[in-house]
Structure 1
Amino acid sequence: MSDSNTTAFKNPSSFILLGFPGLEAAHVWISIPFCTMYTIAILGNFTILFIVKMEPSLHGPMYYFLCMLAITDLVLTTSTLPKSLSIFWFSSREIDFSACLTQMYFFHCFLEMESGIFVAMALDRYVAICNPLRHSAILTNPVVAKIGLTVLLRGCLVILPLVLLARQWPYCRTNIIPQPYCVHIAVVSLACTDTRVSSYYGLFVLFCVMGLDVIFIAVSYIQILRAIFSLPTKDARLKTFGTCSSHLCVILAFYIPHLFISLMYRVGQNVPGQFHILIASVYQSMPPTLNPIIYGVRTKEIRGRLLRLFTQEGT
């Protein structure tokens, strides 16, 4: 199917992903940072999973949630980056209609799951700092498993209507998507019918699902900070705050760009299209890359186990 095929049709058999339109000559160079981020994300998140599995002292709620985050990041980044790299390296632009919707589903589903995991991690830090004597009694292994299952089901179910709606729309304008992977707003914008229900539901997911997550996290951290500032010494306050600093860093790296991207797509009509694509592509690659680095550097237990691992291999 030609890239320039814009003849009328309904429900195309495939879409054409352009990557970065107008920058095709630089695709190989553009691929370098994305390939680097993907490699770091794969190695970093598998390292987190390996360390937690091999170190019995890390078998607790905080690290179980961290493992959930690592698995989510692995699926999130693998759902989009391999196809993007194949566009940059081999000009493999065509993607089957069903494969495009599947990619869209996994991308948005695991974004929602990541948000839910951050809420679970905020709950863990709240209980650990504000009610430390009951932490092990409240967050037992069965409770952690139920929280993980709830996060999984919520992510799967809340995104499903977006995909079902996208599948039913007639596409009679073009099958060209001017970016390197399928996302909801880019796919639905190609439909030749009134898609306001999809837009409204997308805003509902953004503000009423992820927005509630942000509110819950904010309330948790207000209580955490109150507990920290009530500690008698500065050293105790710093030590306690250090136990949740990694979580705060990854939260900021996730929610702030996500809100910026979502609003930019809806109200930033004057922003150049290439800037839209670049920011969105960097955003979906950055959290899976940064999360294992942040936790590896700032979490003493993981850093110590990693250093011991390299020391043993070097002797």
Structure 2
Amino acid sequence: MVARVFIDGEAGTTGLQIRERLAARRDIELLSIPDELRKDTSARADYLNKADVAILCLPDDAAKESVALIENDTTRVIDASSAYRVADGWTYGFAEMDSGQEERIRNAKRVTNPGCWPQGMIAGLKPLILAGLLPADYPVTVNGISGYSGGGKSMIADYEAAGASANVFGPYALGFAHKHLPEMTRYSGLSDAPLFTPSVGNYYKGMLTMVPLRLGQLARVPTGAEIHAALADHFAGQNNGFVEVAPLSDLQRSDDLDPQALNDTNRLRLHVFANDKRAQAVLIAVYDNLGKGASGAAVQNLNLLLGVDQSTSLAA
């Protein structure tokens, strides 16, 4: 059976990448609204209601409008905005997050695609909290760097206009109220929001997140080997999942810690570095902010909704 898929907002960065990944699929009929009707509410409602799955690649308010336009109980939705990330009735679309999440997505009517920044920290922290190695009230800090495509059309335009003179490394969200904080808190299992300081670099895509851990304050201090084992065990049982855990090493530096290392794939690689004598560690995640961080995750979730192998159309 061929599934009808409508990408509402297919002209944007995420929408274009989703369409590119799905273009050769024979099990999917891509419904495409004519350019002149993209802002026509009645036309959009028609496409949304005749689709088996609608993928929303829109700003938050527009995504909410699209959901409100769906009048049937058959159209399933994947929303790539942040409008429903922590909303009741929506399933969080990070399949590898825990052992039951893949099945929850398969059975969902409404799936909210994760933000790019949260996935790396959730992948690193949630298994440690579930394993009892870190308490839910642990004071977490998160930082990292992403390609400028993560900032959307306006940031892409600014960076490409500036060229070589653009800021090489630019911290932002310095009011500490980034819109990803609610999902970072809820799905990692933390009781309080982390201190989050993201940065953007002068390159197009690819990201690296870091969660430093000062372990000496804990009643029981886990070793680096225990932290690594908890992560490896958590992701070992994932069916065709895309999260991998790099071998534990005492390297001082590694070429693998390149935010662009996994570009054009749907993989997310976790690294653990630790100094047991100092009771310190750092969790580092590398992935493509437009792949696993956006369009790749949406296609993975679509595959789960359609009941096909979740790796279909995705480069590992």
TM-score grouping bracket, smaller chain normalisation? 0.3 to 0.5
Higher strand share: 2
TM-score normalised by L of structure 1 = 0.32
Larger RCO (CA within 8 A; separation ≥ 6): 1
TM-score normalised by L of structure 2 = 0.32
